[in-house]
Amino acid sequence: MFTGALKPFKNTNRLTLKRISRGVKMKKSFLKLFFITLSILLAGCSVYSESKETAPNLIMQDTKEMLIVTGEVKKTFKNNKAVRIARDAIQSAERIPGILNVSKNNLEMTLVDLNGNKENYLLWLRKNSDSGMIMYADDTSTGYTLQRVDIVKFKKLFNF
């Protein structure tokens, strides 16, 4: 009789222990899921935090000899100052996120190096605006916003 009275108590303890161990397992699973989600979230945020992406540095110092501008302005520059202005503007331009669908550019710009290799760019400059955009002619889905200081230099250089 005494042992029979303890049997339900023992079974209750087993059930309670099973419930507790299930609860601990669920908490561990929840914590694992939480930390995985947190890791993914933090990794995603750190990748996106570099939103001020600049134009790729494809232009090497002092390798360009000539700058050719066509469109609303038709000029050829063979001096280092003009080439440096163009190079600096390209390197400091900030990438515009997303895929672009833009109006027709009003200027084309070509940088020619010592070996005759050409890099072609599309350029948007407006006389009555202090904003501008540049785009690689080979990649017309990605645009780069020009810095205001570079826009002023371009307009002065092009007499625009």
pLDDT digits (tens, 9 = 90+) for 124-157: 998 888 899 999 999 888 899 999 999 999 999 9
What pLDDT does 49 receive? Answer: 46
In a domain, 108, yes or no: yes
What pLDDT does 48 receive? Answer: 46
Q: Tell me the pTM.
A: 0.58
In a domain, 27, yes or no: yes
- CA pair distance 79, 120, nearest whole angstrom: 18
- Structural domain of residue 46, as residue ranges? 1-50
Low-confidence ranges of the chain (pLDDT < 50): 48-51, 58-64
In a domain, 58, yes or no: no
Q: Tell whether 74 and 28 lie within a shared domain.
A: no
Q: Tell whether 115 and 153 lie within a shared domain.
A: yes
What pLDDT does 150 receive? Answer: 94
- CA pair distance 37, 46, nearest whole angstrom: 14
CATH number at residue 137: 2.60.40.4400
What pLDDT does 18 receive? Answer: 62
Q: Tell whether 154 and 119 lie within a shared domain.
A: yes
In a domain, 57, yes or no: no
